Amino acid sequence: MRQTRQRIPEFFRRLIALKRGQLGDDLASALIVARDNGELVSDTELIDMLFMVLSAGFVTTTGVIGNGVLALLTHPQQLHLVRSGQVPWSQAIEEILRWGSAVANLPFRYATQDVEIDGCTVRRGDAVLMAFHAANRDEKAFGPGADRFDVTRRHNPHLSFGNGPHFCLGAALARLELRCTFTALFGRLEDLALTIAAEDVVYMPSYVIRCPQRLPVTFRPSIA
């Protein structure tokens, strides 16, 4: 892990040198232009930004895929509603994002001034841990069944992509990736089933990311 962490900056330095010679219509090129125009204050910030985009766009999406597959396989009636066309995949994916967000908690943000939130005072300088799994199960927002996985849920103001100026840059891409993945997976594999009990699934050892380390399954290829 230490060797990999040391190699990451060198990888991005080579990428930056390559892109500077042939800027294109891509995010890396845009960030390089921002650095050259002074919008990013240093090469370190540029490398950190590129690393953030890479890591945030990989671990989060694969995590939601794992959580979504687990949710659908452990809720066969919900899966039937989607596979039969009674519920569109777009709606089911929003519920997967709400119920199975890969980012469970995000540390830390610090209050720049005293602020009152729902009767609780957060003092200036206090560290704030954002608990997305808790927010996405708030009965004030989702009703008394907020803790249930329900693909028929229409009102779904989940916070899995954040909110406001920090709303996820890759939200549209993530939704597209999830739609392609789930429709292909459940369209091509018949009788997809877990080979272990749901309570025996081992999760990543992290309080930030919550997703299965592995999902052992059985299936048979679809004739179609």
Tens digit of pLDDT for each residue in 65-92? 999 999 999 999 999 999 999 999 999 9
Tokens of 189: 């594999």
One domain, residues 105 and 20: no
Take residue 3 and report the two structure tokens written for it.
């060797």
Convert the pLDDT of each residue in 177-196 to its tens digit: 999 999 999 999 999 999 99
Number of domains, the chain? 2
Residue 122, strand partner residues? 115
120 in the same domain as 14:
no
**Does one domain contain both 51 and 74?**
no
List the domain range (segments joined by +) for residue 1.
1-56
| CA distance linking residue 116 with residue 30, whole number of Å | 38
Beta strands 217-221 and 127-131, pairing class = unpaired
Name the β-bridge partners of 217. 194
Length of the chain: 224
Is 175 a residue whose pLDDT tops 90?
yes
- Is there a domain that residue 86 lies in? yes
Confidence check: pLDDT of 5 > 90: no
Angle formed at CA 89 by CA 87 and CA 90, multiple of 5 degrees: 105
Instruction: Report helix, strand or coil for 111.
Output: coil
pLDDT > 90? residue 55? no
Q: What confidence tens digit (pLDDT) does each residue in 116-141 have?
A: 998 999 999 999 999 999 999 999 99
The answer to whether residue 63 is domain-embedded is no
Report the distance separating Cα 211 and Cα 159, nearest Å: 17
Position 224 scores a pLDDT of 61
Same domain, 128 and 99: yes
Clarify whether residues 5 and 95 are in a common domain: no
**Cα separations in angstroms, 222 against 22, 60, 158:** 44, 29, 34
Q: Are residues 77 and 147 in the same domain?
A: yes
pTM, two decimal places: 0.83
Q: Tell me the two tokens of residue 186.
A: 């459940």
Average pLDDT in the chain: 94
Residues 6+ apart with CB under 8 A from 107: 127, 129, 130, 208
Identify whether 62 is part of a domain: no
